[in-house]
Amino acid sequence: MAKKNKAAKQQEEKVVLSPSEKNRQRGKEALKASPVLQSIQKLKKEAVAAQDAVDNAVIKARADGFSWVAIAAGLGVSPQGARQKYLRVTD
């Protein structure tokens, strides 16, 4: 039975990873070891959550009858820019 375990381990070691899989593995290892990379990951998650909150607020503002001019003022963009970005999800 010990021979089977050794053979199985040798077989597992022969698994060849593609270059992209190797890169992903190296990235995961670097992420585990680096507080700076962990910070980037955390900030990205927070940015996604913040963008979701903005999107939902724009949808609510439109549902409440606010104009694109008013919404654009809150977003700090032009009314045309606000409308182009959010029209498909609000109307």
Specify if 74 maps to a domain. yes
CB 31 within 8 A of CB 37: yes
pLDDT tens digits along 6-61 = 766 666 666 788 889 999 999 999 989 999 999 999 999 999 999 999 999 999 99
What's the confidence (pLDDT) of residue 15?
Answer: 73
Q: Please give the model's pTM, rounded to 2 decimal places.
A: 0.67
Specify if 32 maps to a domain. yes
Specify if 1 maps to a domain. no
Specify if 64 maps to a domain. yes
Coil, strand or helix at 77: coil
Say how many domains are in the chain. Answer: 1
> Domain of 68?
20-90
Specify if 4 maps to a domain. no
